[in-house]
Homo-oligomer: A and B are copies of this chain.
Amino acid sequence: MAKEQTEKRMVEAITPRDENFTQWYTDVVLRAELIAYSNVKGFMVYKPAGYAIWERIREHLDRRFKETGVQNVYLPLIIPESLLQKEKDHVEGFAPEVAWVTEGGSEPLTERMCIRPTSETLFCDYYKDAIGSYKDLPQLLNQWCSVVRWEKETRPFLRSREFLWQEGHTAHATAEEAAERTQMMLDLYADCLAEDLAIPTIKGRKTEKEKFAGAKETLALEALMHDGRALQAGTSHNFGDGFAKAYGVQYAGKDNRLHYVHQTSWGMTTRMIGALIMVHGDDSGLVLPPRVAPVQIRIIPIRQKEEGVLDAAESVRQAIVTAYPERKLRVQVDASDRSPGFKYAEQEMRGIPLRIEIGPKDLERGVCVLVRRDTREKEECAIADVASRTDALLATIQKDMYARAKAHLDAHIYDAVTREAFADAFTETKGFVRAMWCGERACEEKIKEELNVTSRCIPAAQEKIADSCICCGREARQLVLWGRAY
């Protein structure tokens, strides 16, 4: 597809968001040039504009991880079958969806190996040798990599056979420390989502049915997309000493006796780019929060061939970049030979948070025009004030985007106390439904079968809104957040 065609298509209207959300999502992904479908079935190409968002997310997470003492490592890409099989629940969960390597260097392997779907087994194998005594604990490691899960149906960012993520794996002397780290990482994810991605979430833990294969407990964040469907946004697992027993990961305590370590793992993936699109996007395309936007400000010159216009645009860029060097603001001038209209449409489609328009008439008056991507509000700004004003506006946009997403989330949580109201809530409204549950897996399965709804989590903030289970009517034990999920 020629760039000329791309230009034209980028400014053509995309499918309206409320008409066909699925099509709108695909339109945004392709026209904002985030992803290309590859010819390797089920695998995607992360294009520059998409990958750059991941680089920003990675920076924020990595900094936050390191502040809690986490260090990065890199472990092998492939796992021998015998190693994968040591933890029974884990292998049952993952074996059906892995890719197997069976030949290497022109010879069949003596044992087949899978491409990592996740690396608990490799970290256990490493910790078994790396940990000797209590002095070696805690181990707080993380790796940035891709994993492969052989999905049948795929969608850009949301589900594909390979995705990018980070996986943290820790080992601790006590169950308490492991529990504390599990919660700490959930909180860290929630903070990053709220502060950097402007995405509010609900904290809770997964039911037995929904928890991670091999985990004692899975904590998770649930986010609400614009169409009312849920997206799991970061999970943090507490393994207790289950993996340690399966893999023989022990340490000599101060008591000179051997003890099993207690482990956690936690991950966040490129799915979060899908969440950014579906939480913040609108009918003109992507809307990115300034903290994760690869380009934060794009300056678009008007009648740029007239004398002084391009120079002025460039000096505005310089003024902004040099005013706050420590923030490393990402500012571009679009000096290409396309019309301002094309340039506006492209800047909007790509979700660049702030646009600065500057033309000969503005120059005469020493002003420029600032246009917010999120609200489309315009304001005139003296060129002398442009650095401080844009800096303040970026902060405002970041804050407002979170506030709007939070208001949307809050307005789409419903309580149901009768089975009828529960079913209606999912047909007549869009969002999360809070309802009581007896704790039996059978009820969870029945609800899924009848309503195509899953338990998203048992929210950390518990409340008793009824006495009986929404499904079977027996005594209720927990408040559960239900939803239809991506």
Min CB distance A327 to B, Å, is 12
Listed in ascending order, the chain A residues whose CB lies under 8 Å from chain B are 1-5, 36, 38-40, 43-48, 51-52, 54-55, 71-80, 83, 95-106, 112-113, 115, 122, 125-126, 129-130, 132-133, 135-136, 141, 145-146, 148, 150-152, 161-162, 164, 252, 325-326
Residue in contact with A141 in the complex, picked from B48, B141, B152, CB distance below 8 Å: B48
Min CB distance A369 to B, Å, is 28
Q: Whole-angstrom distance between the alpha carbons of A79 and B99 in the complex?
A: 13
Please determine whether A115 and B132 come into contact, CB atoms closer than 8 angstroms. Answer: no
Please determine whether A73 and B101 come into contact, CB atoms closer than 8 angstroms. Answer: no
Q: Whole-angstrom distance between the alpha carbons of A39 and B96 in the complex?
A: 23
Residue of B with least CB distance to A140: B48
**Interfacial chain B residues near A133, Cβ < 8 Å:** 2-4
**Interfacial chain B residues near A112, Cβ < 8 Å:** 103
Please determine whether B102 and A103 come into contact, CB atoms closer than 8 angstroms. Answer: yes
Please determine whether A46 and B74 come into contact, CB atoms closer than 8 angstroms. Answer: yes
Residue in contact with A150 in the complex, picked from B105, B122, B129, B136, CB distance below 8 Å: B105
**Interfacial chain B residues near A152, Cβ < 8 Å:** 105
Min CB distance A116 to B, Å, is 10
**Interfacial chain B residues near A97, Cβ < 8 Å:** 105
Please determine whether B102 and A73 come into contact, CB atoms closer than 8 angstroms. Answer: no
**A-side binding surface: helix, strand, loop or mixed?**
mixed
Q: How many identical chains are in the complex?
A: 2
Q: Whole-angstrom distance between the alpha carbons of A110 and B163 in the complex?
A: 22
Given the known inter-chain contacts A105-B152, A136-B3, please indicate yes or no for A51 contacting B74, CB distance below 8 A: yes
Q: Whole-angstrom distance between the alpha carbons of A130 and B36 in the complex?
A: 9
Q: Whole-angstrom distance between the alpha carbons of A106 and B151 in the complex?
A: 11
Q: Whole-angstrom distance between the alpha carbons of A485 and B46 in the complex?
A: 37
Min CB distance A45 to B, Å, is 5
Give the 8 A-B residue pairs with the shortest CB-CB distance, closest first.
A2-B132, A105-B150, A43-B76, A48-B71, A46-B74, A100-B103, A104-B150, A2-B133
Q: Whole-angstrom distance between the alpha carbons of A55 and B142 in the complex?
A: 13
Q: Whole-angstrom distance between the alpha carbons of A125 and B36 in the complex?
A: 11
Residue of B with least CB distance to A109: B99
Please determine whether B72 and A45 come into contact, CB atoms closer than 8 angstroms. Answer: no
Please determine whether B101 and A96 come into contact, CB atoms closer than 8 angstroms. Answer: no
Q: Identify 5 residue pairs between A and B in the complex whose beta-carbon atoms are under 8 Å apart, listed by A's number.
A: A1-B132, A2-B136, A4-B133, A97-B105, A100-B104
Please determine whether A126 and B45 come into contact, CB atoms closer than 8 angstroms. Answer: yes
Min CB distance A154 to B, Å, is 12
